[in-house]
Amino acid sequence: MFSLQNQRVLVTGGTKGVGREVVALMHAEGARVLTTARSPGDQLPPGAVFIAADLTTAQGCTAVAQAVREHLGGVDLIVHVAGGSKAPVGGFAVLDDDEWAQALNFNLMPSVRLDRALLPGMLEQGKGVIIHVTSIQSRLPLPESTTAYAAAKAALSTYSKSLSKEVSPKGVRVLRVSPGWIETDAATAFVNDLAAKAGSGYEAARQSVMQALGGIPLGRPAQPREVAELIAFLASPLAAGLTGQEYVIDGGTIPVA
């Protein structure tokens, strides 16, 4: 459907959540896929190459770039999914320099480092696609513990837009996908925990989370597969005329005029 046969694809954070769905979909479409995370998952499709690496470090990114060259001989598509936040609760005052550095090293620098290592090969072949998965928190940040995460995702979005202006005239498309709340395994576990603490059912706890987010007009969070399908479309020849844009998948969470 997406015409990705024999495309050489790197997916970061590909062992769970959206990343795992991207790997599965790209593989099903006939792409040659290499993915990376700190530890392997148990649901990667046969034939997908896994490289264990810590992308928060320059050494980890260098190792992944080298693995891409060795296993794929280059790359046609990079999907940057890895990211997240483990910041403590307590607002901006508890976010010391280490917490800010961790947020940037997890959500911005892996894309910068891997693009810097692999983009020259794309430019040499005169084609390629880079997709940065950001977050609606870059525009609609939640308070408290996600402050550094939201700022890092905003930096990633700005970096992506700037990169697109530089390399799109040379044949490489650069795009952003910004999800809202995604119902991953981790999100489901979180809602179940809330339900247990409140003595309520899963759906009641799910609704409370959506209310905390300011409401999701669609009435539900996005599913990982839905985000993966958007990414696959943008990576495909069907989207050949698109570059530099941000595509939000949030069920209508961000108000628009």
Residues 189 and 87 in one domain: no
Of 26-40, 143-157, 217-231, the range with the lowest mean pLDDT is 143-157
Tell whether 40 is covered by a domain.
yes
Q: Of 119, 126, 104, 4, which Cα lies nearest the Cα of 56? A: 104
Pick from 20-34, 62-76, 84-98, 225-239: least confident:
84-98
What average pLDDT does the segment 200-221 reach?
84
Instruction: For residue 207, tell me if it sits in a domain.
Output: yes
Query: What's the CA gap between 250 and 17, in Å, rounded?
Result: 16
* Residue 152 and residue 141 share a domain: yes
- Whether 256 maps to a domain, the answer reads no
How many domains would you assign to the chain?
2
244 touches 168 (CB < 8 A):
yes
Ramachandran angles phi, psi of 43, nearest 5°? -130, 25
123-133 pLDDT, tens digit each? 999 999 999 99
In this structure, is residue 255 part of a structural domain? no
Residue 227 placed within a domain = yes
What percent of the chain clears pLDDT 70, i.e. is strictly above it?
Answer: 98
Confirm whether 3 is domain-assigned: no
In Å, how far are 5, 75, 144 from 49, measured between CA atoms? Answer: 16, 13, 38
Whether 257 is in a domain gets the answer no
Do 67 and 86 belong together in one domain?
yes
Sheet of strand 172-179: strand arrangement: 49-52, 32-37, 8-12, 77-80, 128-133, 172-179, 246-249
Catalytic, 159? Answer no
Calpha distance 22→29 (Å, rounded): 11
Distance of alpha carbon 251 from alpha carbon 230, whole angstroms: 13
Residue 164 and residue 46 in one domain: yes
**Which range among 43-57, 132-146, 155-169 shows the weakest confidence by mean pLDDT?**
132-146
pLDDT at 144 over 80: no
Is the pLDDT confidence value at 34 over 70? yes
227 and 207 assigned to the same domain = no
| Residue-level pLDDT at 13 | 96
Domain at 152, CATH number: 3.40.50.720
Task: Give the structural domain span for 211.
Answer: 183-221
Closest CA to 79 of 132, 29, 121, 38: 132
Shared domain check, 74 and 176? yes
Residue 36: DSSP 8-state: E
Judge if 131 and 204 occupy the same domain: no
Do 27 and 53 share a structural domain?
yes
- Helix, strand, or coil (residue 218): coil
Kindly state whether residues 94 and 123 are assigned to the same domain. yes
Q: Is the pLDDT of residue 146 over 90?
A: no
Q: Is residue 23 part of a domain?
A: yes
CB 67 within 8 A of CB 32: no
E strands of 53-180, at which residues?
77-80, 128-133, 172-179
- Pairwise CA distance, residues 84 & 12, whole Å: 12
Confidence grade of residue 145 (pLDDT, cut at 50, 70, 90): low
Mean pLDDT of 24-30: 97
Whether residue 117 is found in the same domain as residue 69: yes
Report pTM: 0.93
Same domain (yes/no): 114, 24:
yes
89 and 213 housed in the same domain: no
Catalytic residue among 149, 159, 202, 247: 149
With vertex at residue 235, the alpha carbon angle to CA 15 and CA 1, rounded to the nearest 5 degrees, is 90
The 10s digit of each residue's pLDDT in 74-124 is 999 999 999 988 877 777 888 899 999 999 999 999 999 999 999 999 999
